[in-house]
Structure 1
Amino acid sequence: MKPFLTGHEELIHDIKYDFYGKHLATVSSDQHIKVFDLDSTTSSWILNDSWKAHDSSILRVSWAHPEFSSSKILASCSFDRTVKIWQEQPDELHGSGRRWSKLVTLAIESYAPIYDVVFAPNHLGLKLGCVGSDGIFRIYESVEPSDLSQWALTSEIPILNSSLPAKSLQSSFAIEWCPSKFTTTEKFIVVALDQGFIYGTKPGGGKDDLQNSPRQQSPLQQQLEQQPQSQQESRYIKLGNLPEHNGLIRSVSWAPSMGRNYHLIATACKDGYVRIFKAIETAKGDLKIEILAKLNDHKSEVWRVNWNMTGTILSSAGDDGNLRLWKCNYLNEWKCMSVINTSNRSDNRGIEVEPK
């Protein structure tokens, strides 16, 4: 795969592949979203379209699973305090600025910038979560699958019990859904500053349990409007915390289970550490959390972590300009198996070259 210029005029905040890895979306402080298509014959990325999507810096972008629509769907969030959902219009020309149309604007209840938006795994139905610096995690759900412009706010969960961070200070908020289909209840992680919280539906209760997934019981607008707010919030309970972070948590990633009877969760922290947690579901329904590894090979702030499809290899990226790949050996120790240098001092194979 060849490196390429995106054409953004400001800092790029997020890059996401679609489900098949053939399309790429980027967002930037220039308030634009750009979508690229992979040309398999030349292994190069071709611009699908670019458009001004928000009135301020765009921080995150997320793809919906392709099973919900014949056209691709994106969600984006911004400092302008909104979440917007976009749908591709295949009849429009590439690069016309009209190929992606806005379906709906969400998070209008928020009075603070939205830092992250993520679609839920497809087995939970068409829903997404977003979190902003107001410290509230919101879940929106598609009301009618045939009309993707109709969404309803189904839950609001206050995350921060203490006072909100000052606007002049750095903040970090993130979301990660549990990707496993075989867990007993719906679970997700919400990161707020230097704290990570794991939430889930109550075992045996709540319409979002996997036994009563939205695929079988799609929510109706009338029912959601009549549902008391206290009842909405009570659907989710806190299952555990991710401890021992000494700085802002920049990223969190939940590993696919692939038959394991426990969960693996990784975080990237401003204190320079990559942390790997093991979460075991107890008979009471909560999670027992333990730290498996604290890795500081980056020697600088770590910005992103991400698991591979089998949950066996973890990648991390930091201010040292390196992408590191981690794997657990036969002694149950996490070791760096490869370092990919991304600086200008690398040759075309990504191998670090010593300065002359």
Structure 2
Amino acid sequence: MKPFNTGHEELVHDVAYDFYGRRIATCSSDTTVKVFDRNDSTGEWDLSDSWKAHDASIIKVCWANPEFGKVLATCSHDSTIKVWEENIREKQNSGKRWKRVATITDHKGPIYDLAFSPSHCGLKLASISTDGQFKIHEALDPNAIGSWTNIFETNTLSSAPSRQLQSSFCLSWGKSRFSKEYVVACALEQSYIYQRQENGKYTQTGQLPAHGSIIRDISWAPSIGRGYQLIATACKDGFVRIFKIEEPVTEGGNLQVSLINQFDDHKGDVWRVSWNLTGTILSSAGDDGRVRLWKSTYNKEFQCVGIVSAEQKHDAIED
């Protein structure tokens, strides 16, 4: 693991790998997005392009599945979502390589999170803003990514959060192509699971138990070889939590949600959780400056199998 200088002038809010892990996109309070390509000969990340993307801090950047082309989406405190497509005919580092093809403007508050759906669900974008509005937009024709339709929206808050209190909003799509289409949205300490019905409408079919404090991040695990789903959360109360999600036996029933593991090893706020591609290893990042790796044992209990620290002179993985 080698650090690299992004060149951003202010705080970096998000870093996203593309599908193949060969490219990285970053976004910052300096209102710019940067894309880096992996250089195999040097092992470095080379800047491919940088451009001003919004009029306020950019909070999230994400890649679409490559079957839809080289497409990025960004969201910002300016309350907009923008979709970008790469034009490889433009020179690298020209500031013109990524063309804005769509701007979605129906959010009223700063947008905290954004994610493309898995490719088997079509080309969809889920987003959530500080007023609790959770929305799903879809490019009904994936070959015309300049046109997006709002296909679902709901308010996840009964009242607006106080300006004096910390707030957090996040979301994650269900990954399995062998189950129904799910997406989970978090507002403060509450989490709601929505399912796409056969008529195309989305309804709430589950809810995670309330957390002790606001949820900083949530990640739905790929479910290769499992008959159930897993969702992990990162929380301000210092806990990483893992929930088991079981689909109902009868059609139309609610999901069965149970807490199966929780850890407070970070001894402070936990900010991010992320699963590997097979859903067998969970990584968490916290205020202790460490990334902890969790793996399920033979008895289905998760245990810490490694700690990555970037604070040391030589990055180390501790046992």
TM-score tier (shorter): over 0.9
One-letter amino acid of the structure 1 residue matched with residue 248 of structure 2: T
Q: Counterpart in 1 of 2:167?
A: 171
Q: Which runs of 5+ in 1 are unaligned?
A: 208-234
Q: What is the match of residue 107 of structure 2?
A: 110
Amino acid aligned to 1:48? S
Deviations 1:108-157 (A, max 9, x none): 22211111110000001111111101211111111333322111111112
Residues in 1 aligned to 2:103 and 2:19: alpha-carbon distance in whole angstroms:
23
Query: What does residue 277 of structure 2 align with?
Result: 309
Q: Distance in 2 between matches of 1:84 and 1:48?
A: 19
Aligned partner (choices 224, 233, 239) of residue 267 of structure 1: 233
Structure 2 Cα separation of the partners of residues 270 and 241 of structure 1: 19
The letter of the residue matching 1:173 is F
Give 1:198's aligned residue: 193
Shift of 1:96: 1.0
Residue range with higher mean Cα deviation, 274-283 or 164-173 = 164-173
* Equivalent AA in structure 1 for residue 136 of structure 2: I
1:76-113 Cα shifts (integer Å, max 9, x gaps): 0000000000111111111111111101100x222111
Percentage of matched positions with identical amino acids: 50
Residue 175 of structure 1 deviates from its aligned partner by: 1.2
TM score, norm. by length of structure 2: 0.96
Q: 1:243 aligns with which of 209, 217, 226?
A: 209
SS in 2 for 1:143: coil
8 Å CA contact 2:191–2:210 kept in 1: the answer is no
1:42 corresponds to which letter in structure 2? Answer: T
Give distance in 1, aligned partners of 2:257 and 2:174.
15
- Tell me the TM-score normalized by structure 1: 0.86
Encode CA deviations 1:206-242: one digit per residue, 9 max, x unaligned.
23xxxxxxxxxxxxxxxxxxxxxxxxxxx22211111
1:85 counterpart = 2:83: yes
Paired letter, 1:8: H
Secondary structure of 2:120 counterpart: helix
Q: CA RMSD in A?
A: 1.3
- With over 3 angstroms needed to count, the CA separation of the structure-2 counterparts of 1:351 and 1:124, relative to structure 1, is closer
Structure 2 CA distance for partners of 1:292 and 1:32, relative to 1, 3 Å: same
- Aligned position for 1:12: 12
Name the one with the larger helix percent: 1
Native 8 Å contact 2:214 2:235 kept in 1: yes
Match of 2:84, SS state, is strand
Question: 1 CA distance for matches of 2:101 and 2:126?
Answer: 17
Taking the aligned partners of 1:163 and 1:147, their CA distance within structure 2 comes to 37
Q: Distance in 1 between matches of 2:183 and 2:144?
A: 26
Secondary structure at the aligned position of 1:10 is classed as coil
The residue type equivalent to 1:180 in the other structure is: S
Aligned-partner SS, 2:140: strand
Count how many residue pairs are aligned between Structure 1 and Structure 2: 316
Partner of 1:212: none
What is aligned with 1:142? 139
Give me the whole-angstrom Cα distance separating, in 2, the residues matched to 1:332 and 1:351: 24
Q: Which of 259, 263, 267 is residue 299 of structure 1 equivalent to?
A: 267
- Aligned counterpart for 1:181 among listed residues 172, 177, 187: 177
Based on CA coordinates, which of the two structures has the bigger radius of gyration? 1
Residue in 1 aligned with 2:308?
340
1:163 maps to amino acid: S
CA contact (8 A) 2:63 2:72 kept: yes
